[in-house]
């Protein structure tokens, strides 16, 4: 009888142990039940109040111009306009070397990051999915947002040319 009672508990412990081994060290996930925008820093970084706690979030999979870079103010305004007063679904999946959390924001099931790319205010990341790349190509062909310029400077290149100074 005691052997039969311990089987479900053992199976549960094995499942938890297996998940701990499969998930990479330092990876974690968090979702906000209630998210409120505190500040939009630039086109891909914002501070939220997530279930009452402050959270600086960088949107996963995209790279938008830095605030002081050409197009940076417009990218920030585009992000602010997308999320202003709307109910946000936030999923945090990782953190970066600056302590920011990285994740996704959805509004009515639509990813905010993909909307920014489609409007031409962000580039897809190096490992982005085909959905992001097709939106970027469509924005480029239609000369939307940053693509109004013949050869817009990607933010990673701008950061190389303008290293952060303290």
141 is catalytic: no
Taking the C-alpha atoms of residue 121 and residue 144, their distance in angstroms, rounded to an integer, is: 8
Out of 33, 39, 49, 66, the active site residue is 66
Catalytic residue among 76, 100, 101, 135: 100
100 is catalytic: yes
Catalytic: which of 58, 76, 101, 135?
Answer: 58
- Give catalytic residue positions: 58, 66, 100
């Amino acid at each position: 009888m005691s052997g039969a009672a311990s089987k479900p508990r053992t199976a549960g412990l094995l499942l938890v142990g297996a998940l701990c081994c499969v998930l990479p060290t330092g990876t974690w996930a968090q979702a906000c039940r209630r998210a409120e925008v505190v500040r939009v820093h630039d086109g891909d970084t914002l501070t939220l109040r997530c279930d009452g706690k402050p959270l600086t979030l960088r949107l996963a999979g995209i790279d938008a111009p830095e605030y002081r870079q050409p197009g940076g103010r417009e990218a920030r305004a585009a992000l602010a306009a997308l999320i202003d007063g709307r109910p946000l679904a936030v999923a945090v999946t990782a953190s970066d070397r600056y302590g920011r959390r990285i994740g996704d924001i959805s509004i009515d099931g639509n990813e905010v990051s993909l909307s920014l790319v489609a409007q031409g205010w962000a580039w897809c990341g190096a490992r982005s999915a085909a959905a992001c790349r097709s939106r970027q190509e469509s924005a480029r062909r239609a000369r939307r947002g940053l693509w109004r310029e013949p050869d817009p400077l990607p933010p990673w290149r701008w950061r190389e040319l303008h290293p952060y100074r303290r």
